[in-house]
Structure 1
Amino acid sequence: MRTLALRGGGRVAVVDAEWSDAFGVVTRGRVQLELRDGEPGPVLGRDAGFWLRGTGVRALRNPGRRTARVRIVTPTAARRPTHPNANHPMIEDDMNSMNDTGVVAGPASGQTSRRTHRLRGLAGAGLVATLAAMAATTLAAALAQAAGVDFEVPDGGESIPLSGFAVVTGFFSVVGSVVAVALLRWSARPAARFVWTAVSLTAISFIPPLLSGANTATIAALLGLHLVAATVMIPTLARSLHTRTD
């Protein structure tokens, strides 16, 4: 029996020869199982147990910031070395004394570098998508004005300027990009959760125009502009998240 301590962002590979018939129990924090096909596995919480043999798990990873601990139980026979002198009394004593040892794993430099690269790549994709969404909504608003939509909101008594559409779109697009980065960092299924979150927030954003008291044409145009921004941002960030977790 041994205790594995995984620092925040830490990762330790599962080697079949060393982890044969091993059973793990999470005693502190959260541990994510990294599958052999490259897909992120489930995130296990405290007191969750799992077998390693035959499960296709290639590594254990700590998705959080605090140190996670896993108690690993393996048969004594599986831990004995295949050394020519393995039957020597001194070697047997050494192996028996290894019970309940502590192993500490921290984030490897390569793993940290890859994670930083993914985060920077996603942030870059978010910036490009934000600029595209700002341009698309501003152009759509200009076309709507040309078609006769006044964009006048009764509370303010003035028409919304084109620059206002660009600023609001840019602000909420940046918020969406931050949400995507956070999910990439801490979620086991960032793409799916981002789509669900973004669609929900888009639906909520329909409420202010509907309650604004503006005329029907203005309300319809405002709802359409929200959809334009969402159509640009959501697929772009979701695709980037999916690509960077493969």
Structure 2
Amino acid sequence: MRTLALRGGARVAVVEAEWTDAFGVVTRGRVQLELRDGEPGPVLERDAGFWLRGTGVRALRNPGRRTARVRIVTPRTRTVTCPLPNTWRNEMSSMNDSGVVARTSHTSRLRGLAGIGFIAALAAMVATTLAAALARAVGVDFEIPDGGETIPLPGFAVVTGFFSVVGIVIAAALLRWSARPAERFVWTAVSLTAISLVPPLLSGAATATITALLGLHLVPAAVMIPTLARSLRTRTD
């Protein structure tokens, strides 16, 4: 038995002869498989078991910042200081030569992200509604020329809640499928926030209303983006 250590961002080429009868277990961090065409493959979490014989995987890489470790067990190993759990042995016996088995903790990670996102969404709704109420108190009427309607205070909470949920869904998708979810999320969220500033500028409302609407777009972004990005980093490092 031996241990393979991968520093953050490191990549190690797979030598097929060394993995012919070897079974790997991720004991720390996350390890991503690099496919034969160079495309990123599955990301294996801690406690994931796998073998590479016949899969065509050409490299292992660490998509996180912290050092990842893989414990490699071969039939030649006579003494094992840390026996494999029965669940891993069952997985080994049920795999074929072309398979890659990964026992991941995606569900718990997604639940944690959703929980933090829900709390952040509530905070964003409260902050946005309070900011709108303060703006209305100093004279901003929030009247939109098209139709002559005035945006009610509950409307700010509803819209903020909806787009906060959209942000949580995007973060969850990136956590599941991206090797760099935090960076991708920040880039995506900032881009969408910038796009959301266009409608107020084109609304034809009074200057005070436009300024207030722009600020109210930035308030929930200032709450949701850092919170979800921090949560994504915590769950991938």
Tell me which interval the TM-score lies in, with the shorter structure as reference length.
0.5 to 0.7
2:97 paired residue among 102, 111, 118? 102
1:10-31 CA-to-partner distances (Å, cap 9, x unmatched) read: xxxx966xxx98436xxxxxxx
- Quick one: structure 1 residues 189 and 175, their matched pair in 2 at CA, closer, same or farther if it must change by over 3 Å? same
1:147-183 CA-to-partner distances (Å, cap 9, x unmatched) read: 0000000012021000110111010000000000000
Report the TM-score, using the length of structure 1 for normalisation. Answer: 0.64
**Cα RMSD (Å):** 3.4
- Taking the TM superposition and a 5 Å limit, the aligned residue runs for 1:1-246 are 22-23=14-15, 38=29, 44-48=34-38, 62-63=42-43, 70-71=55-56, 81=76, 102-108=97-103, 111=104, 114-246=105-237
Structure 1: gaps of 5 or more residues: 1-13, 25-33, 50-59, 74-78, 84-100
Structure 2: gaps of 5 or more residues: 5-11, 17-24, 45-51, 59-73, 79-95
How many Å separate the matches in 1 of 2:116 and 2:135?
Answer: 28
- Quick one: structure 1 residues 216 and 188, their matched pair in 2 at CA, closer, same or farther if it must change by over 3 Å? same
1:29 alignment counterpart: none
How many Å separate the matches in 2 of 1:21 and 1:192?
Answer: 25
Report the TM-score, using the length of structure 2 for normalisation. Answer: 0.67
Cα contact 1:195–1:238 (8 A) shared by 2: yes
Structure with greater Cα Rg: 1
Amino acid at match of 1:48: G
How many Å separate the matches in 2 of 1:177 and 1:190?
Answer: 12
1:112-167 CA-to-partner distances (Å, cap 9, x unmatched) read: xx221110000011111111111000000000000000000001202100011011
Structure 2 residue matching 1:222: 3-state secondary structure: helix
4+ residue runs over 3 A deviation: 34-37, 43-46, 79-83
Cα contact 1:23–1:72 (8 A) shared by 2: no
Deviation at 1:213, TM superposition (A): 0.4
1:57 alignment counterpart: none
Deviation at 1:82, TM superposition (A): 7.7
Amino acid at match of 1:200: S
Structure 2 residue matching 1:149: 3-state secondary structure: coil
How many Å separate the matches in 2 of 1:153 and 1:21?
Answer: 60
How many Å separate the matches in 2 of 1:141 and 1:244?
Answer: 34
- Quick one: structure 1 residues 197 and 216, their matched pair in 2 at CA, closer, same or farther if it must change by over 3 Å? same
How many Å separate the matches in 1 of 2:153 and 2:77?
Answer: 74
How many Å separate the matches in 2 of 1:103 and 1:116?
Answer: 26
